[in-house]
Amino acid sequence: MKRKKNKTAETDRSVEEILSGQARFWRFSDLLRKVYRGAQPLASRLTERLTEYDDCEDREGTARKVRNWMHDRNLPKSREELFKICFALDLDEERTEQVLGITSESGIHYRNPRELIYAFCLRKGIDYSQAVIMVENLWENTLSKKQSDNHSSAPSLSHANLTGSVRQRFHMVTTENELREFLKSSAHKFGRYHNTAYRKFRKMLDCLVQPESVDGVLPEDQNYSIRKAVDQYLRMGIPYERKSAHYSEIQREIKHHWPSAKSIYEMCSQKIDIDRKTLLLLYIATEGESELRPDDQRRTEEHQRRMDLMLAECGMPVLNILCPFDYLVIRAVSGADEDDFIGSRMERMVRKIFGRDKTAAYLTSEE
């Protein structure tokens, strides 16, 4: 009973830190100020360049959008808009990866031809307008695009098609001619999806959908459907409702991209890409697929190391305590012990944050 009270107290403290504002999280405006190194005022620079990129005369409309970003009222709506911002601020590849990774949960995708060409242009200091022309000339108007489309409809799990191998070769490209040849020779390796993330996703999901019994054999009626696995292990009390106006900024950010049975089905069939939040929730639900020794004093550090390694291999940013969702993950890992599952602690915090304190049935039985 005492141990249970201690767990509850730890959960309450973590939730209070979030809701009271004691826990400091990143803001988009802070991120832009951190990566920008120009002399011109940041807002003026963005307004000027973005008005030029959009080829419109509504400068005031662009200025209003920039003001909303700088006052953290909202975020850019797409990765393309984030790329425009990175070009406008003259960022290099490394800082662009930082902006994309923190804001859209995935850095530059080096198997996506458009983003690969953008990366080359950022590396060489070529502006966005010219980068768009290069995408059209080097990719969209060539046969290579059709070749890529043929390979992006189904997952290819060959090591040669993994993003890391393409990225390693791409870093040796220094001229536009070399880029053209690279696109032609690598066309069959391109695709919209992250293959490494897909492999890890399927492996961890299988652990939930087809759990093994002690002797390694599980009756068919004990196999979980994807929907049941998602409801029992991944939702953690997150509301399904789409309307979010009544949620706080922190609640909206935690809830954003939270997987549902539908999104998991679409990831399985590769209708959509695997996202970072889903990978982390699967890791939590499976305890990293294999349990660490209960007496391991470095249990917390090992879990964090494993998650960071998984994310890095998938081209995604590692855990960052300045992001609300990552904060919950880190707290869940650091607060769990040999008698407490990471997923149980994560769910307790999520339910308190969203005012859904009614505990799930499987949590009640465990406690």
* pLDDT by position in tens, the chain (length 367): 444 555 566 666 667 766 666 667 888 999 999 999 999 999 999 999 999 998 777 889 999 999 999 998 888 989 999 999 999 999 999 999 889 988 887 788 888 899 999 999 999 999 999 999 999 998 876 644 455 444 444 444 444 456 677 788 899 999 999 999 998 888 877 866 778 889 999 999 999 988 764 444 444 444 568 999 999 999 999 988 877 778 888 888 888 889 999 999 999 998 888 999 999 999 999 987 765 555 555 677 889 999 999 998 887 888 988 888 999 999 898 865 555 788 998 999 999 998 865 444 333 333 3
**89, 115 Cβ separation under 8 angstroms:** no
DSSP letter assigned to residue 112: S
**Burial track 104-127 (b if 16+ CB lie within 10 A, e otherwise):** bbbbbbbbbbbbbbbbbbbbeebe
DSSP letter assigned to residue 156: -
DSSP letter assigned to residue 274: P
Which is it for the CA torsion 263, 269, 273, 277, positive or negative? positive
Q: Exposed (0-12), middle (13-18) or buried (19+): which is 213, by Cβ within 10 Å?
A: exposed
Here the tokens at position 234 are 């991944």
152 backbone dihedrals φ, ψ, rounded to 5° = -95, -5
- Amino acid (1-letter code) at residue 162: L
Q: What is the pLDDT of residue 290?
A: 62
Q: What is the pLDDT of residue 118?
A: 97
Q: How many CA atoms lie within 13 A of 128 on its CB side?
A: 20
pTM as predicted: 0.74
What is the C-alpha to C-alpha distance for residues 119 and 41, in angstroms, rounded to an integer?
Answer: 25
> Domain map of the chain by residue range?
2-24+195-366, 28-71+75-90, 110-193
Which of helix, strand or coil describes residue 91?
A: coil
Computed on alpha carbons and rounded to an integer, the radius of gyration of the chain in Å comes to 22
Residue bearing tokens 């590769």? 270
Q: What is the pLDDT of residue 77?
A: 87
Give counts: helices (H), strands (E), the chain: 20, 0
Q: What is the pLDDT of residue 214?
A: 40
Residue bearing tokens 């249990």? 299
